[in-house]
Structure formats: structure tokens, C-alpha cells
């Protein structure tokens, strides 16, 4: 595979097909866990592991899975990798596991993962599927970290538990509540759409 194609498959998850800001998938865990940046890192890496593992496995089995039962088979594969993540986090990262709670097992029904399995992994080879899963997962992780960092800094006055503004800061508590997640996501969506509009107009002028 040409290097340009490989970079395209990997990089699309960061902007062009970003799961959260462009494809609008994965809102539920994003709204729930991004009260702190560290939660975003943990959830993002867990989703990335499941995405890469399930993409690879489904790509390997794509010619063996009957078309009429492909979705149940995909879910079984995804659930297997989610179980691994859940047990590892429970055993080695208990505090994070407790903070993320039910949203770790719910990765099984995350639309991003099933969507990539159905739209990409079952139609492409292992290398492309690996790059797709890695790019989409890391793009989702970066998004969660940015959203979590903004909400934590403004809502708690901390970042990764360390004070940012000192003891005199009055936290903007709305941002660590559910409405704050919607506000932050809405602002990001607006900015990204505006950037795309500007790029589109510039491209039309050049042509």
C-alpha cells in the first residue's frame, strides 16, 4: 500500500471522519466521562484497543462470516475485546475503572466500533482495517482529552488533578455538569463546521 494511502487511512479519524465532530457518533460516553481529562484518556484508549482488535479480527474473518448473521458475529467479536479491557482495567487501574463505571462494558454497543466493522473492516484487508481502527480510535481519544481538559480546567480549576488558577479561582461549575458537556461539544462542532466552510470557499476560489 502506498505511504500516502496509509497516511490517509490513519489520518481521516483526526479530522475528515472524526467520529465525534464529523460523523457524530460516540456522544453518550463523551458526555458522561469527560468531566476530567484523565477520564478521556482512559476511555479513548479503551475504545482504541477495542476498535483495532475488532477491526483486525473481523477483517480476518470477513470471508467466513455469513452475510445474514454478520452483525451478531461482529458484536461477539467486539464484546470479547471489551471483556479484556474491562478485566484489565478492573485489575490494574481500579480507580479509573470505578470512575468510568458502566461505560466500559457499554463500549460493546458503541456506534463507532460497530460502524467501522460494518462500513470498513468487513470490506477491507487487515492492514487497512488496522490503520482505520487506530486512526479512528486515536482521533476519538484526542477529542475526549480536549473536551475533558476544557471542562476540567474551567469547571474545576485543575488539569490532571493539579491546580491551574490557584485557590482564588471560582470554578465555572456548569461545565462539569451534563449541560456543560453539550455546550462544549456544540462550540467545537460550530468551530469545525466554520473551518470547513472557509476551506470549501477557498478551494472553490482556487478552482
C-alpha cell at 183: 455546550
Give the SS3 label for residue 101: helix
163 beta partners: 158
Among 19, 51, 55, 18, which Cα is nearest to 129's? 55
Q: How many residues are listed for the chain in this entry?
A: 207
Place of cell 476519538: 140
* Full-model pTM: 0.89
**pLDDT per position as a tens digit, 114-146:** 889 988 999 989 999 999 999 999 999 999 999
The contacts of residue 175 (CB under 8 Å, 6+ apart) are 150, 151, 154, 155, 183, 184
**pLDDT per position as a tens digit, 32-71:** 888 889 999 999 999 999 999 999 999 999 989 888 999 9
Amino acid at each position: 500500500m502506498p505511504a500516502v494511502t496509509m497516511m490517509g487511512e490513519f489520518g481521516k479519524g483526526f479530522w475528515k471522519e472524526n467520529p465525534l465532530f464529523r460523523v457524530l457518533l460516540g456522544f453518550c460516553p463523551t458526555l458522561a466521562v469527560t468531566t476530567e481529562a484523565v477520564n478521556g484518556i482512559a476511555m479513548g484508549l479503551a475504545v482504541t484497543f477495542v476498535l483495532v482488535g475488532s477491526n483486525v479480527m473481523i477483517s480476518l474473518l470477513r470471508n467466513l462470516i455469513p452475510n445474514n448473521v454478520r452483525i451478531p458475529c461482529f458484536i461477539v467479536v467486539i464484546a470479547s475485546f471489551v471483556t479484556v479491557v474491562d478485566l484489565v482495567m478492573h485489575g490494574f487501574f481500579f480507580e479509573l475503572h470505578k470512575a468510568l463505571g458502566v461505560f466500559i462494558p457499554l463500549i460493546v454497543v458503541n456506534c463507532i466500533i460497530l460502524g467501522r466493522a460494518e462500513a470498513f473492516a468487513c470490506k477491507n484487508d487487515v492492514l487497512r482495517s488496522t490503520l482505520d481502527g487506530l486512526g479512528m480510535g486515536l482521533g476519538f481519544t484526542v477529542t475526549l482529552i480536549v473536551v475533558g481538559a476544557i471542562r476540567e480546567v474551567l469547571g474545576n480549576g485543575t488539569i490532571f488533578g493539579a491546580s491551574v488558577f490557584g485557590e482564588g479561582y471560582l470554578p465555572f461549575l456548569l461545565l462539569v455538569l451534563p449541560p456543560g458537556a453539550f455546550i462544549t461539544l456544540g462550540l467545537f462542532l460550530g468551530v469545525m463546521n466554520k473551518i470547513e466552510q472557509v476551506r470549501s470557499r477557498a478551494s472553490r476560489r482556487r478552482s
